[in-house]
Amino acid sequence: MSTKLTAILVFILIVAAAVAGALLWNRLPDPMPAHWNAAGEIDGYMSKFWGVFLLPIISIALTGLFLIIPNIDPLKANIAQFRATFNWFIVVFAMYMLYVYTLILFAALGTSFNMTLMLLPAVGLLFIGIGCLMNGAKRNFFIGIRTPWTLSSETVWDETHKLGSKLFILGGAATIIGSFFGERGVWFVLGAMLLAAFAPIVYSYILWRRENP
């Protein structure tokens, strides 16, 4: 996917979300639900203005950052090699944010559901998307598993990201499965996140030590 098409699609998604929130303004309570506990129950609120516009604002800021990063990275030539995949991830991330925003609006309108159970499958799919992105990621300073050891060696970077890709995809699948276990499904997410976050870091150091005994 081209960068221009990515920007257009994400812009449409964000504007559609903001417009939907604005159209529902008179039906939304003040304050609005803003936080849920592990049991999926509302335990925090924020003003209606921020409830309607905070997530679209965050989405715009993050999208702008995602689009700028490839142009300012000293290794932007490497990012160009997997830019199409990165652009797809930007769209997927925007869709995830739109999904979360939709759930918030439904909750504010009084629809009863368990937020945790509704979010877990989406988080799992996002993990899988990150895993797919890692699979083709080339060495750079912003995207991927950036440790001193991966950044200093092309081989260490590639091998670490092969492992990271598998762990994130497996973690995503485990998170989706965890959605069938109610509140206990949160532990699937935590376990998957910890494994996917820390195992590649340790692995990158081990690989680097093999190259530099």
Domain identity same for 107 and 143: no
Give 48's pLDDT tier (boundaries 50, 70, 90): very high
**Mean pLDDT, all residues of the chain:** 92
Domain identity same for 83 and 141: no
Domain identity same for 2 and 92: yes
Bridge partners of residue 42, in order along the sequence: 36
Query: Helices 83-108 & 48-72, crossing angle to 10 degrees?
Result: 180
Query: In the listed set 53, 78, 113, which residue is the last one of a domain according to the structure?
Result: 113
Nearby residues of 136 by Cβ (< 8 Å), 6 or more positions away: 81, 82, 85
Domain identity same for 193 and 93: no
Q: Is the pTM of this model over 0.85?
A: yes
Domain identity same for 57 and 134: no
Domain identity same for 134 and 77: no
Domain identity same for 164 and 108: no
Give 213's pLDDT tier (boundaries 50, 70, 90): confident
Domain identity same for 123 and 187: yes
Domain identity same for 179 and 126: yes
Domain identity same for 101 and 164: no
Burial of 193 (0-12, 13-18, 19+ CB in 10 A): middle
Number of domains the chain is built from: 2
pLDDT at 187: 80
pLDDT at 39: 78
Instruction: Quick: pLDDT tens for 130-182.
Output: 999 999 999 999 999 999 999 999 999 999 999 999 999 999 998 888 888 76
Query: In the listed set 68, 83, 113, which residue is the last one of a domain according to the structure?
Result: 113
pLDDT at 67: 93
Range of the domain at 23: 1-113
Domain identity same for 100 and 124: no
Query: In the listed set 76, 97, 113, which residue is the last one of a domain according to the structure?
Result: 113
Q: Of 1 and 23, which is predicted with more confidence?
A: 23
